[in-house]
Structure 1
Amino acid sequence: MSHAAAASASAPATATATIGDSEFDRDTALSARADEPGVYDAELSAGWTIITAVNGGYLLAMVGRALSQALPHADPFTVSAHYLSASAPGPAVIRTQLVRAGRTLSTGQASLFQFDENGAEVERIRVLASYGDLDALPDDVRTTALPPVIPAYEDCLGAEAGPAPIPGSSAIVDRLRLRLDPATAGWAVGAPSGKGEMRSWFELADGRDADALSLLLVVDALPPTAFDLGLVGWAPTVELTTHIRRRPAAGPLRVAITTRNLAGGFLEEDAEVWDSEDRLVAQSRQLARAPR
């Protein structure tokens, strides 16, 4: 048994939902337009909101699903997104375009649009991504990266440990099962560490295991590191680049996010996601606006 598996042995065994049949899958479902190849209609769920805006990781996963269906390869390898305007629950359309199809990688771009009061399309997010086959990757791993040191699952703090940090922000929290490292949760009681760190165990609330697509959600699902710097409020994403390195093993994930530089009203967040077999399965960097 790996160190992570031993540490998570007491995590609740509630894997009732499965990949393809879960709340996440239903809420990222797409309807392909028969008369417009590469165009998909979608419905952004209110269940994945922060205050009134739709979470950026959820949006990335939805656009990622569209590219997975549109490109010759199905697995996201690198996905870079620019967030152009805040999304709201309701109808959306995703337009994809194949940029290049190679033997091992396909590159495409996609934009998610919503509609203004006159019915005109308003672009919310634009993505450039390369997709491949994660199962075809070689097993060779040479790394200096180490899994984050997080207390055992039962010694970490769930949402029930305190009030929502932002009024009206609890919708996405209900979709997730986060257990925060107490060392990075002092902001919840008015005592942030000032280090700009966030670490947590992560599962979807209905027990669905993670896959490559849901990792696009995971990298943006924790409370912002700005909270640990003493700044509480909405920290909207400006740009987010995610690298999917491996298909995750079943079981809870561990997520570690750090910020080293807040300047000019913006901060970076570097995230690592580790699976139950101590493998680094995803990495990301985002630029976000600091809470005002």
Structure 2
Amino acid sequence: MSSATPSAAPSEWDTHTALTDAGDGRFAADLDPGWVVGGGVNGGYLLGVVGTAIARSVPAKPHPLSVSAYYLSASRPGPAQVSTRVLREGGSVATVAAELAQEGTTRISVLATYGDLAAMPSDVGTTAVEPMLPPLEECVPGSLAPEETRRVAPVMERFDMRFDPACVGWAMGAPSGNGHIQAWFRMVDGHEVDPVGLLMVCDALPPVTFDLGRPGWAPTLELTVHVRAVPAPGWLKVSHRTRNVAGGMFEEDCEVWDSAGRLVAQSRQLAMQPRA
């Protein structure tokens, strides 16, 4: 008598970004409270939820290539609705508009270009320099964050992050002032990050303004992500930098490198300075 091999349990990410198809490009979502940070749900997670809906709307082109999101109001855990509209679908790419709403109010408006990275050349040529991080055992685990920090930012429990010791002076009250934070990154359950997941990774680290001595929740106004390749399995390197703080806002530039040493995603975010 033979027995069927049990299927692998779904990852936390797959569970938290699950959608119910309501037809006509509409999907129902349930935003998980484990992704809260400060006064709302993490923007990268929200973009991952929308990105999942877009991928299901153009199944022949499942991967984000370029995604721009405008955050109109803070989201909170609970039911949400995602609507997608295919503006154009050609031979290699599709352009899709999407919105995430709660209680009849649009939270995020997105315009995205999707394709199939697996059908594209896998080489990534760049003049960018891969971040130099100390070995994992010499880096600072995010799990060492104070209990108060983890309480107001349960999103930290979703990740296994190992911070470069040179970039965590802010945690001891001694920020470097360089506007730079970098860390090794993986999901806490070991789930390998896929191209849609990279949309979330670009907004996973603490706001880079922490390194300027300005801690606190920094609401995102706009986030654009470019995905370059399907990441190789293993730890990712994530680097955030800022060069300008003006008008109550700052920009945050992110690079994500995979275990094969390739720049697989990059983003720029405009956010409000952290509130006191």
TM over 0.5, yes or no? yes
Distance 2:126 2:147 in 1: 37
- Give the aligned partner of residue 42 of structure 1: 29
How far does residue 165 in structure 1 lie from its aligned partner after superposition? Answer: 7.0
Q: Show structure 2 runs of 5+ residues with no match.
A: 1-6
Q: Is residue 79 of structure 1 aligned with residue 62 of structure 2?
A: no
Residue among 244, 259, 270 paired with 2:242: 259
Residue 224 of structure 1: CA displacement?
A: 0.6
Residue among 261, 264, 269 paired with 2:252: 269
**TM-score, normalization: structure 1?**
0.89
Alignment pair present for 1:102 and 2:90: yes
**Count of paired positions:** 268
1:111 is matched with 99
In 1, Cα distance between equivalents of 2:272 and 2:140: 26
Q: What's the TM-score, normalizing by structure 2?
A: 0.94
Q: Aligned ranges for residues 279-290 of structure 1 at < 5 Å?
A: 279-290=262-273
Please give the per-residue CA displacement for 1:44-88, whole angstroms capped at 9, x wherever unaligned: 000011034100000000000000000241111001000000000
Distance 1:250 1:167, change over 3 A: closer
Partner SS, residue 196 of structure 2:
coil
When the two chains are superposed, the root-mean-square deviation of aligned CA atoms in Å is: 1.6
Classify 1:287/1:208 alpha carbon distance in 2 versus 1 (closer, same or farther; 3 Å): same
Letter in 2 for 1:86: A
Indicate the residue corresponding to 1:232 in structure 2: 215
Unmatched runs of 5 consecutive residues or more in structure 1: 1-16, 116-120
Rounded to whole Å, the distance in 2 between the matches of 1:65 and 1:153 is: 31
Report sequence identity in percent: 50
Question: Using the alignment, how far apart are the partners of 1:40 and 1:139 within structure 2?
Answer: 32
Residues in 2 aligned to 1:139 and 1:249: alpha-carbon distance in whole angstroms: 11
1:184-222: CA deviations, max 9, x gaps? 111001000001001000010001011101101100000
Amino acid at match of 1:75: H
- C-alpha deviation, 1:164, in angstroms: 5.3
- Large movers: runs of 4+ above 3 Å: 139-142, 164-168
State the Cα deviation string for residues 202-256 of structure 1 (Å, max 9, x = none). 0100010111011011000001101000001110110000001000000010000
Q: Using the alignment, how far apart are the partners of 1:274 and 1:142 within structure 2?
A: 12
More moved, 80-89 vs 159-168: 159-168
What is the CA–CA distance in structure 1 between the aligned matches of 2:196 and 2:147, rounded to whole Å?
Answer: 27
1:176-191 correspondence to structure 2 within 5 Å: 176-191=159-174
How much has 1:140 moved relative to structure 2?
A: 4.9
The change in CA–CA distance for 1:56 and 1:164 in structure 2 (over 3 A counts) is: farther
Distance 1:234 1:124 in 2: 17
> Residues 83-232 of structure 1 correspond to what in structure 2 (within 5 A)?
83-115=71-103, 121-163=104-146, 166=149, 168-232=151-215
Which range is displaced more, 154-163 or 180-189?
Answer: 154-163
| 2:150–2:156 contact (8 Å) kept in structure 1 | no
Q: Distance in 2 between matches of 1:47 and 1:93?
A: 19
Partner of 1:8: none
Does 2:12 align with 1:23? yes
Please say if residues 124 and 228 of structure 2, whose CA atoms lie closer than 8 Å, have aligned partners that are also in contact: no
